[in-house]
Amino acid sequence: MAGSYDLIIIGSGTAAMVASNRASAAGRKVAVTDFRPFGGTCALRGCDPKKMLVTGAQVMDDIRRMRTRGVVAPEARMSWPELMAFKRTFTAPIPEKQARNYAGKGIDAFHGQARFVGRNAVAIAGEGVCEARHILIAAGARPAPLPFPGAEHLVTNEEFLELEELPPRIILVGGGYIAAEFSHIAARAGASVAILQRGERLLTQFDPELVGWLMESFHEAGIDVRTRRAVVRVEKAGHGYTVLTRSETGAEEAMEADLVVHAAGRIPDLEPLQLDAAGVARDERGHLRLNAFLQSPSNPAVYAAGDAARTGPPLTPVSSHDAKVAVRNMIEGNQYRPDYRGVPSVAFTIPPIASVGLSEAEARQRNLRFRLRSQRVSGWYTARRVAEPTYGFKVLVDEDTDRVLGAHLVGPHVDEVINIFGLAIRHGLTAEDLKTTMFAYPTGASDIGYML
């Protein structure tokens, strides 16, 4: 027997860190287990290291846009090994730092794959069996299985972020955040990049009109975007790969690459947990069945948070929020429900695209009365100052209450500006509240009044 606890947490990412700290501070005996280095996807294999690579790509694009506008940098180039070394200055210390945090708070931390062996019991490989009053599943996500032959040749997004050298020819399979962001990084680093997307467009989570404006930046970067294109199979060919694709009309085409990247989505990483042993039910898609309190109805001892819960958007702030809600419900009884109002989403392309609240389509489906302002504003100072032609917005405001319903932005600084719209949505601020706010000028935020 490895031990008995008030709470066992499976995973060590954002949700696990928040939950363990909160439960420990409340006097609960807590254990955390992860078969991978402590820190989780966001800090080690996702958003944080990715954003560090985006920074290098952004600098290269800044130089390109400003080259005939006063910036002289004829030898500017991106050194992939040096950029990766810079990234590791952030990621490398995290597991040890996390372990020290656990030890300092009296939290037992185990390394090993966890699996349920009873309704309140978890076996940890190499450690034994732990029992607990509550168990929090915060195991994160993994790449979704791909249906075509040769899928084993693809590298995951996590493996891409560990590449020592960047291959010259890269194909990304998929059309979401990973494909969009990684394509911009790789193209600015000098690779020839293609995206294969089965659907009709990229970034379906964002407003289609703004995505259309953003696509110009893909073309400017030399990214070959092929939509309505399915992968038939991937074959090893010498030192590279041949990717056979099929269009909607049935026409097939072979493409050559040195690296093929899985960018076709991620799913909760639940299979190794053997949920049946704990009586934890899943729905027809294989996701956890949870009630409004992030609890398993079929086993009330079990809660979930973040990507494993999949009740809110798959974003790091949601993981943290879920963890706070779940721990409060464990300690105080089920009283708290997650509140995902005003959670912004950003794809860190160059320039970025951002969204919060309702889309135009969702507002119309709900038969809401709203006014809509939408405009491409390449001539505004915010865009002209950085010589960025892609800049635009779409904002929805409720006609009856004057409250902001949704905001959709693309262009320079929108990854920061979207947070102000998120604040307005979450706390019920009106368009007039924002218009009468005096933002620092000239900044991206100072454009908000003109968007309303």
307 belongs to an annotated ligand binding site: yes
Residue 286 marked in a binding site = no
* Contact of 4 with 296, CB cutoff 8 Å: no
Q: Where would I find the beta strands (DSSP E) of 80-127?
A: 108-111, 114-118, 121-124
In single-letter form, the type of residue at position 273 comes to L
Tokens of 172: 């990304």
Report how far residue 277's alpha carbon sits from residue 118's, in angstroms, rounded to the nearest whole number. 5
Residues 6+ apart with CB under 8 A from 217: 184, 349, 350, 351, 390
- Helix intervals (H) in 152-232: 157-160, 177-188, 208-220
- 140 among the known binding-site residues? no
Long-range contacts of 176-181 (CB under 8 A, 24+ apart): 176/202, 176/203, 176/204, 176/205, 176/263, 176/264, 176/265, 177/203, 177/205, 177/347, 178/261, 178/263, 179/261, 179/263, 180/347, 180/349, 181/50, 181/54, 181/347, 181/348, 181/349
Task: Round to whole Å and give the CA distance between 151 and 323.
Answer: 34
136 within 8 A of 8, measured Cβ to Cβ: yes
Question: Annotated binding residue at 13?
Answer: no
CA angle at 72 for the pair 66 and 77, rounded to the nearest 5°: 85
Q: In sequence order, which residues have a C-beta less than 8 Å from that of residue 96 and are 6 or more positions away?
A: none
Find residue 257's DSSP bridge partners. 241
Q: Has 265 been labeled as part of a binding site?
A: yes
Closest CA to 149 of 266, 224, 242: 242
Q: Is 175 annotated as a binding residue?
A: yes
Is 178 marked as a binding-site residue? yes
Nearest to 143 by CA among 45, 247, 226, 52: 45
177 marked as part of a ligand binding site: yes
254 known member of a binding site: no
Is there a binding annotation on residue 176?
yes
| Annotation: binding site | 51, 174-181, 265, 307
**Numbered residues of the known binding site for NAD(+):** 174-181, 265
As annotated, the binding site for FAD includes 51, 307
